[in-house]
Each structure stands twice: as C-alpha cells, then as structure tokens.
Amino acid sequence: MLTLLVACFRQLDVVAGASVLDTATETEEFIEMEHQTQGFLASVVQSILPTVVKAELGVVSGLIGLLFHMNDIALVVKSRVCGLP
C-alpha cells in the first residue's frame, strides 16, 4: 500500500489540487482543500509514518527513487502535504 501511495502521489487530490491553497482568497474550494489536506496529514501520513521510520534504508531509498521517478517533484513539493507552507 505504501509503494502504491508513493508511486501515485501526484494523483492524490491533496497534491493535484494544492495550487488552490496558493490563493489568498478563502473560497469554498480553498476551505475544502484545506480540510482535505489536514485530514490527509492527520490520518494517512500519521498512520504510515511509523512504518517508514522502522523500514530499512534500502526500502526507504527505493521509495524515494520511486517518488522521483513516477511523480512531478516540483508539483509534489509545492503541496502542503510535504510540510511546506
């Protein structure tokens, strides 16, 4: 499941729609994306983090390689899911 999440990361709504959060206007779309992002961080990220922390270096390295290979890194990094404001 973790591998699939990493491979398809850019397709997640919280990543694909992250540009909505760049606007200064708090529209309905902005508020909804903010709620989705916070929900994703609180549920999905918090549940997989212990697995990643306990994983061997080779597994983590493979996941990072998969993330770089299968995703547009500029898009991923701009999303709030990566922890950037």
> Would you list the domain boundaries of the chain?
2-80
What is the pTM (predicted TM-score) of this model?
0.77
Of 58 and 80, the one with more pLDDT: 58
Cα dihedral value 37, 44, 8, 73, nearest 10: 60
pLDDT of residue 82: 65
Q: Summarize the confidence of residues 25-46 as an average pLDDT.
A: 90
Q: Summarize the confidence of residues 2-27 as an average pLDDT.
A: 88
pLDDT reading at 85 higher than 60: no
Of 45 and 78, the one with more pLDDT: 45
The answer to whether the beta carbons of residues 63 and 6 sit under 8 Å apart is yes
